[in-house]
Amino acid sequence: MTQLKRLTLALITAVGLSGCATTRGLSAAGDVHALLLSIRDDDRPTFDAHVDRHALAAQIQGILVERTRTANVPDSVKSLGLLVSGPLAKAAAGTLIRPDVFRAVADYYGYRPDTPIPGILAIAMMLRPVKDDRVCATKGKHGPCLLTFANEDGRWRLVEFNGTAAMLKLGRGGAS
């Protein structure tokens, strides 16, 4: 195939994909792909590079605070709950934010250890733009957003998990 034909085919493909995958999705897909590989391969350094632990811990703390505020308990118990929400969220983040725990989430999306991770273009088509220049990963065109990614200094990182606690499976690895 000549260079001109390859270039023409690449342009046609890019135009065709523009309706399916947004620029944000294409930008994020490489980092999401790397995160999926790190989960599959239990690659902790790569996983950590693609996860914003502080954002996820803040999300956990927000859930604890909301549940504490709406609990039907005396104010003194609520005050204690609010006081310990930060340390509890930090401990929970240390236990839950690991590749082996997120493997169950990858399984939900169909990425099992024996399944090849899709390419970047396929991943880009499963990413949906959401508020604040973020993208979320969906299962299917209209599926729910369980994983939300934000561009942080040129790297797309996981900043929000909206699945159920049952989706997170504690593995043999233990907390770190």
pLDDT in tens, 63-88: 889 888 888 989 888 888 888 888 88
Average pLDDT of 46-71? 92
pLDDT at 169: 67
pTM given for the model: 0.77
Find the farthest-apart pair of alpha carbons in the chain and give their distance in angstroms, rounded: 76
Chain mean pLDDT for the chain: 82
pLDDT at 170: 59
In whole angstroms, what is the distance from residue 113 CA to residue 13 CA?
A: 30
Summarize pLDDT for 100-141 with one digit per residue, the tens.
Answer: 888 888 887 777 778 888 889 989 988 999 888 899 988 777
Pairing status of strand 147-152 against strand 155-161: antiparallel
Average pLDDT of 148-153? 94
Question: Which residues are within 8 A (CB) of 56 and not within 5 positions of it... i.e. 6 or more apart?
Answer: 93, 97, 158, 159, 160, 161
Q: Is the pLDDT of residue 20 over 80?
A: no
In whole angstroms, what is the distance from residue 174 CA to residue 40 CA?
A: 17
Q: Is the pLDDT of residue 172 over 50?
A: no
Average pLDDT of 89-97? 88
